[in-house]
Each structure stands twice: as C-alpha cells, then as structure tokens.
C-alpha cells in the first residue's frame, strides 16, 4: 500500500480505495434487464429474446395437408398410407416433419444464422422447430437427439453447428440429451444446386457413428437438421444410425422445400 502510484484512487494495488465496480455493474445490468425492451431476434421489434415475435412466427408458412405419411411432403398421394415417390422407394428414417416451408422470410433467417453467424437466432428458430416435434412426434418416445454433423472443415470455418443449436432448443425442455454421435468421414460438396440423384451420391458413405460419443443400440433417435430438401442427407444419417443398431430414427427439420 505504501508504494501506491495511483494517488489512492483506482490503483490496482489499493482494492479498498477502488470503486466497487462489480456491484455497480450488477446493479446496472439488473436495471438494464428491466428497462431495456427485449427484441425479437429475427426482426428486431419488441418481443422476447429467445422466441420469434407473433408477426415473424405467423410469417413462417406451415406445410399443407394432405401430405405424405412418412416425410409430410404436401400432396395427395394414393393409397391408405399415402407415400410420396421418394418414400415409396424407401427411406432410412421412419418419419420426417418440418416446422415450415423453406421460403422467405425464414430462408433469410437461416442464412443469417448459418452464413452471418447470428447465433441469437438459434433459440428462436429452435423453438419453431420444437413446435413441429411436439405436433408430429410422440415426444416421450425418444432416448436422445442427434444433430446432423458438419464436416470438420466447415465447423472450423463457422465455429458452430446450426443443427446442434436447433437440436438443443428442441431437446432441453424435454430433458432429452443431445449427442453428437455422427461425424462426417469425408468432405461433401454443398447439396445446394444438386439434383436428387446427385445429392444421394454426394452424401453416400459420408457419415459414420463416432463410438467416442456412444452407440445408438436399441435407442429411438430424433435426428435434427436445419433444412430438408430431397432428404438425402438425413436419409444417409438415418441409415448409418439404423446400421449401428438404432431401434428407430425420426427426423425433425426447421424447414423443408416442396
Ligand atoms: Zn419478429
Ligand atoms: Zn414422403
């Protein structure tokens, strides 16, 4: 204390004479929480931090009925158990559902999350995806939630896996564990712009169960991805999980194309 160079004020060596910044900071933060309006992470209008405001939620276009009994692709398909062409050909997953059509403005929100790193959107988009899970799935039937993985290269570039963030928002309120059990064992070209057959080829053999994160033997798995287009990616993931002993794999995505 005797060697103080700060005149007794704000000197790092003189804690007793420094203002109590931590207490002041906490007070300011708690006042801020009360005074500053929370905003919708999508539009910035007044709302709640982790959910879309009513206007944004209403702008997400739900998928219509009737629909394929397996993947919920809207359309009138023949038979008592209606199946779209792709589902008639066989799927690795038991069922798939999505919260909304992959259209504007949801498309832009997904781009902001994935390509502009706006992670504040993840809980709100996850909340939207959770709506589909709770509507279409028997929520008590699952043992764990598995996100579709990114390649290690893309993960390094992005710093997060959007499917993991969505999976967490779906799983946490239901007390389900999120397990990154799958990994990409080879780089794949982006699926965007590829035709259906090329998409299947692109992801064939691209995934494997990572035994470090456990195995799905006898477990009912909820597989989560951001967008379903032809379903080739989730199909390849589901086949790997089923091949590793999963009892069943259902898919929830935030959005899907038609
Ligand atoms: Zn909004
Ligand atoms: Zn289908």
Cα–Cα distance measured from residue 121 to residue 109, given in angstroms and rounded to the nearest whole number: 7
Ligand 1 center–CA 43 separation, angstroms = 4
Interatomic CA distance for residues 49 and 36, integer angstroms = 12
CA of 63 to the centre of ligand 2 (A): 13
Task: Output the CATH code of domain 59-256.
Answer: 3.40.50
- Average pLDDT estimate for 59-79: 95
**162 alpha carbon to ligand 1 midpoint, in Å?**
20
Among 17-21, 93-97, 213-217, where is mean pLDDT lowest? Answer: 17-21
Above 70 in pLDDT, residue 16?
A: no
17 burial class (0-12, 13-18, 19+ CB within 10 angstroms)? middle
- Find the farthest-apart pair of alpha carbons in the chain and give their distance in angstroms, rounded: 90
Per-residue confidence (pLDDT) for residue 195, from 0 to 100: 82
CA of 25 to the centre of ligand 1 (A): 30
Bridge partners (DSSP) of residue 208 are 183
Backbone region of residue 147 per phi and psi (left: phi > 0; alpha: psi in -120 to 50; beta: other values)? beta
Instruction: Output the CA 69–ligand 2 centroid distance in Å.
Output: 7
Over residues 205-216, mean pLDDT: 92
Ligand closest to Cα of 49 equals: 1
Residue 46 β-bridge partners:
39
pLDDT tens readout for residues 163-181: 999 999 999 999 999 999 9
């Amino acid at each position: 204390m005797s060697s103080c160079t700060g005149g007794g004020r704000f000197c790092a060596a003189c804690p007793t004479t420094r203002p109590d910044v931590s207490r002041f900071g906490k007070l300011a933060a708690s006042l801020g929480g009360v005074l500053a309006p929370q905003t919708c992470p999508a539009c910035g209008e007044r709302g709640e931090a982790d959910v879309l405001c009513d206007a944004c939620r209403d702008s997400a276009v739900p998928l219509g009925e009737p629909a394929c009994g397996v993947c919920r692709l809207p359309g009138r398909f023949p038979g008592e158990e209606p199946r779209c062409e792709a589902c008639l050909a066989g799927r690795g997953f038991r069922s798939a559902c999505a919260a909304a059509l992959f259209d504007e403005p949801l498309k832009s929100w997904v781009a902001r999350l994935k390509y502009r790193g706006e992670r504040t959107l993840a809980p709100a988009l996850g909340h939207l995806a959770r709506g589909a899970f709770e509507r279409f799935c028997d929520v008590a039937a699952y043992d764990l939630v598995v996100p579709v993985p990114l390649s290690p290269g893309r993960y390094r570039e992005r710093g997060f896996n959007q499917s993991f963030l969505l999976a967490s928002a779906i799983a946490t309120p239901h007390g389900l564990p999120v397990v990154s059990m799958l990994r990409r064992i080879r780089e794949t070209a982006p699926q965007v712009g590829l035709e259906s057959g090329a998409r299947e080829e692109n992801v064939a053999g691209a995934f494997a169960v990572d035994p470090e994160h456990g195995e799905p033997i006898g477990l009912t798995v909820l597989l989560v991805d951001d967008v379903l287009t032809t379903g080739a990616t989730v199909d390849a993931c589901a086949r790997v999980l089923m091949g590793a002993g999963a009892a069943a794999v259902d898919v929830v995505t935030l959005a899907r194309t038609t």
